[in-house]
Structure 1
Amino acid sequence: MASLGLKGSAIITGAGGALGRAIAQSLARHGVSKIGGLDISTSGLDGTKNTLAEAYPAVEFLPVQADLASADSTSEAICKVISAFGRIDYAINNAGVGQELAPSGDTSVEEFDRVMNVNFRGLWLCEKYELRQMEKQEARAVNPFNPSIKEKGSIVNVSSVLGFMAMPHLGVYNSSKHATLGLTRTDAIDYAKKGIRVNTVAPGFIDTPLLLESTRKALKTTIDRIPQGRLASPEEVADAVTFLLCGLATHITGVTLPVDGGFTAT
């Protein structure tokens, strides 16, 4: 496969999970040489580090344990990556948690805070520090067809098809994913003339080892509604992230790209 020609360093949150690991591999395959991975799970980070070391031994992977529900932990983790690599060319805000199924009247304040503190507040915190760093950086030529087009950085937030629509008993989760779309659009406008692009991918249902057989059965009706008739692989979502980051997408900012097999088109 031909490389998309990415260069420099990246930061990925939720890097220890299936999608975060696939994103790290996609970035490495397309030229990123330094990757900082944030996750609350050290074992997940170890798995990503080992996977990259085996497939892409020239890529430097920095695992950083971080709790994105904590402003201090988030700031310290991003500072570690900046200190190690000097700059952040690409940022992928992928970390997220699910919600216990319940209508809003039966959802606890603690559950609201748990979900929103990671899915939206944590994502916003990451963007805050990523944008600050990117603003300081020297812009680089990134478009292979037009060297006059320069960027200081590119950000992709990971939302969900539930940022466009809703499923019952997931009011807080749905809201956190809707909020991500609003933040992306606003930051894309605010930072466009500063040489920073901000986009979102909105995956549908992803086929991962954590998707239990019971869950697959419960999702059968939903899967039947997907025009392609199947779940997405983590690699398919990861490659969409990489495309939005790369020099072929330099006039794309403020968009949300569904990666859902046509689900939101129905």
Structure 2
Amino acid sequence: MTVHETPAPRPLDGRVALVTGAARGIGAASARALHRAGAAVVLAARSADALEALADEITEDGGRALAVPTDVTDPLAVERLVARTCDTYGRLDAAVNNAAGGGHPPTPLAEVDVADFDSAFAVNLRGVFLAMKYEIPAMLASGGGAIVNMSSTAGLQAVGGLAGYVSTKFGLVGLTRVAALDYADAGIRVNALAPGPIHTGQLERAGEQARSMAAAAMPMRRIGRPEEVAAAVVWLCSDESSFVTGATLPIDGGKLSGTPPFRRPGA
């Protein structure tokens, strides 16, 4: 760039974005991508140390970031998170509701502990409801905004043994559509993403064999990267998707498209 050139405008310059579940994985990648797109970023999760480290990273890269440790199952904590955002930056333009947790390992439905099922509901579905309940009034006061809720391919196609996770992620698609309809004429767009297998900490801990099996089951023969989900987050938060609301976009390497063609071993 010469001295006469000016930097190209970024799609989220001057905007403020909030990310829950921002401590790692897709949430952290989304926060970095939103920062690179020009937004000030508010980071929320239960892990204070991880949030502070990410906030420092973004700040050192020339951005604005605020870490607010938050339990999304606590209404008062979520209300404080949004109030802190508006007190610090004066507005809220975008939100990525990515926090997830609770639930149970693969278990036949009749053997699922009630408390485990309830824990998935509390974080994955009720937590997103609480986030939107407080994000939406702040966005209305800012003149509109965009919300991205993190569902899953398991919210569009069931996975046996995961009653808690699947039911909450299916519910999240419905909740997204209701919010989109409620606020479509008020300048707030609400969409969801449905990632397939993504190389985050969970798949890392599962080991190389599990990652290879997951990749082999994908039509593209690989698993996704958090940055690929984050790119879709930025698009849905920007004006480039200005006529998109109530949609659920799979980020899945073709997983939900159907059965890939037969291939001979070694082909």
Q: TM-score, normalised by structure 1?
A: 0.89
Alignment-derived partner of residue 225 in structure 2: 233
Query: Which of 97, 117, 133 is equivalent to 1:93?
Result: 97
Amino acid at match of 2:16: S
Task: Report SS of the residue matched to 1:37.
Answer: strand
Structure 1 distance, partners of 2:254, 2:102, is: 23
Percent identity, aligned pairs only, is: 36
Structure 2 distance, partners of 1:89, 1:213, is: 35
- In the alignment of these two chains, the number of paired residues is 250
Structure 1 distance, partners of 2:221, 2:9, is: 29
Residues 1:207 and 2:199 are matched in the alignment: yes
Alignment-derived partner of residue 52 in structure 1: 58
Amino acid at match of 2:108: P
CA 1:98 to 1:262, structure 2 compared with 1: closer, same or farther past 3 Å? Answer: farther
CA 1:2 to 1:68, structure 2 compared with 1: closer, same or farther past 3 Å? Answer: same
5+ residue gaps, structure 2: 1-6, 259-267
Structure 1 distance, partners of 2:47, 2:139, is: 27
CA 1:28 to 1:73, structure 2 compared with 1: closer, same or farther past 3 Å? Answer: same
Task: Report SS of the residue matched to 1:212.
Answer: helix
Query: Which of 7, 11, 30 is equivalent to 1:23?
Result: 30
Query: Which of 104, 110, 132 is equivalent to 2:137?
Result: 132
Structure 2 distance, partners of 1:15, 1:158, is: 12
5+ residue gaps, structure 1: 140-151
Q: Is the 8 A contact 2:214 2:222 kept in 1?
A: no
Query: Which of 13, 16, 37 is equivalent to 2:20?
Result: 13
Q: Is the 8 A contact 1:93 1:157 kept in 2?
A: yes
Task: Report SS of the residue matched to 1:75.
Answer: helix
CA 1:242 to 1:96, structure 2 compared with 1: closer, same or farther past 3 Å? Answer: same
Aligned-pair RMSD on alpha carbons?
A: 1.7
Could you say which structure has the larger radius of gyration? Answer: 2
Q: Is the 8 A contact 1:3 1:29 kept in 2?
A: no
CA 1:219 to 1:18, structure 2 compared with 1: closer, same or farther past 3 Å? Answer: closer
Q: Is the 8 A contact 1:4 1:246 kept in 2?
A: no
Q: TM-score, normalised by structure 2?
A: 0.88
Deviation at 1:2, TM superposition (A): 6.5
Query: Which of 99, 108, 111 is equivalent to 2:113?
Result: 108
Deviation at 1:218, TM superposition (A): 3.5
Q: Which moved more, 1:118-127 or 1:209-218?
A: 209-218
Query: Which of 237, 255, 258 is equivalent to 1:263?
Result: 255
Query: Which of 31, 35, 41 is equivalent to 2:47?
Result: 41
Structure 2 distance, partners of 1:164, 1:29, is: 30
Structure 1 distance, partners of 2:210, 2:202, is: 14
Structure 2 distance, partners of 1:113, 1:136, is: 33
Structure 2 distance, partners of 1:4, 1:154, is: 16
Extract structure 1 runs of 4+ deviating beyond 6 A. Answer: none
Q: Is the 8 A contact 2:102 2:123 kept in 1?
A: no
Amino acid at match of 2:37: H
Task: Report SS of the residue matched to 1:252.
Answer: coil
